[in-house]
Amino acid sequence: MQRHPAVAGQFYTGSGPELSRELAALIPFTERKRKVTGIIAPHAGYMYSGAVAGKVYAAVEIPSRVLILGPNHRGLGAAAALHPAGEWLTPLGPVPVDADLTRFLLQHVPFVQSDPIAHQYEHSLEVQLPFIRYLRPDVAISAICLGHADFDAVRRIGAGIATALRSFGEDVLIVASSDMTHYESADSAKRKDELALGRVLALDPKGLLEVCRKEQITMCGVVPSAIMLSAAGALGATRADLVAYATSGDVTGDNRQVVGYAGVTVW
């Protein structure tokens, strides 16, 4: 099954050569890359969040297999939708879905269903692919689109992902796709995002869900991020770093209503 780009030409350019030039400008050269278990990367239009995404991708080794977790903005399809085997098309070329990794995820991760409908128009996973494909042309992926989940479901999905990755037996990078606070002043967004990122850096998925609920932090990928933290912890991760933080106001100059973007590594 082919998944066609839904936001090429909107969130990023639809021309392969132009996209390669854009990514080359967004991804800084880094001599020493860290082997990590997971990252959080933003998913807005590249003109707004691409610099943050570029910094976090530049900081890590990207293995030949990547699992992308993203929020379901449109509410279509299954609550935990795993894209079936096939390929995702990008302006840089196709990215295959790893059939074996996808099979292990379907076997071991509770609540997950094979469902392409949730992925059809969802941008949160798609915008990660050009960065990954540019830096690792031979990559294959699996992709899960996620709706709302409480901590028990997050914990169980995270544990299932850890079991699936151990069974798969190869290095897999877990990418949690998320923007941070939406449409508040820059000062308010930064204050709230510091609270959420404090829980991320403490490797505390339950605390992340709780602080976002208590403080009304509109972190759209809070569930994918909490699941990544839970899976990474089960796989032995003990540290996290904030690689970059910015808001849309840093680009537009308008700080009255911004969206926050963070890049985090977990290992």
The residue range of the domain holding 242 is 31-266
Instruction: For residues 252 and 173, give the distance between their C-alpha atoms in angstroms, rounded to a whole number.
Output: 32
The domain total for the chain is 1
Q: What is the pLDDT along the chain (267 residues), one digit of tens a residue?
A: 899 999 999 999 999 999 999 999 999 999 899 999 999 999 999 999 999 999 999 999 999 999 999 999 999 999 999 999 999 999 999 999 999 999 999 999 999 999 999 999 999 999 999 999 999 999 999 999 999 999 999 999 999 999 999 999 999 999 999 999 999 999 999 999 999 999 999 999 999 999 999 999 999 999 999 999 999 999 999 999 999 999 999 999 999 999 999 999 999
Instruction: For residues 237 and 202, give the distance between their C-alpha atoms in angstroms, rounded to a whole number.
Output: 11
Instruction: For residues 205 and 129, give the distance between their C-alpha atoms in angstroms, rounded to a whole number.
Output: 25
Residue 168 maps to a domain? yes
Residue 1 maps to a domain? no
Residue 13 maps to a domain? no
Instruction: For residues 44 and 128, give the distance between their C-alpha atoms in angstroms, rounded to a whole number.
Output: 10
With beta carbons less than 8 A apart as the criterion, state whether 60 and 173 touch.
Answer: yes
Task: Say if strands 173-177 and 65-71 run parallel, antiparallel, or are unpaired.
Answer: parallel
| CATH code for position 131 | 3.40.830.10
Nearest to 266, CA basis, from 132, 176, 156, 190: 176
Residue at 245: amino acid letter: Y
Residue 241 maps to a domain? yes
- Which residue in the block uniquely carries the two structure tokens 């990367």? 41
Confidence (pTM): 0.98
Residue 231 maps to a domain? yes
Residue 7 maps to a domain? no
Task: Say if strands 173-177 and 38-41 run parallel, antiparallel, or are unpaired.
Answer: parallel
Q: Which two tokens stand for residue 5?
A: 């780009």
Residue 120 maps to a domain? yes
Residue 226 maps to a domain? yes
Q: What is the dihedral of CA 15, 220, 240, 151, to 10 degrees?
A: -140
Instruction: For residues 95 and 228, give the distance between their C-alpha atoms in angstroms, rounded to a whole number.
Output: 22
Q: Which uninterrupted H or E stretch holds 99?
A: helix 99-108
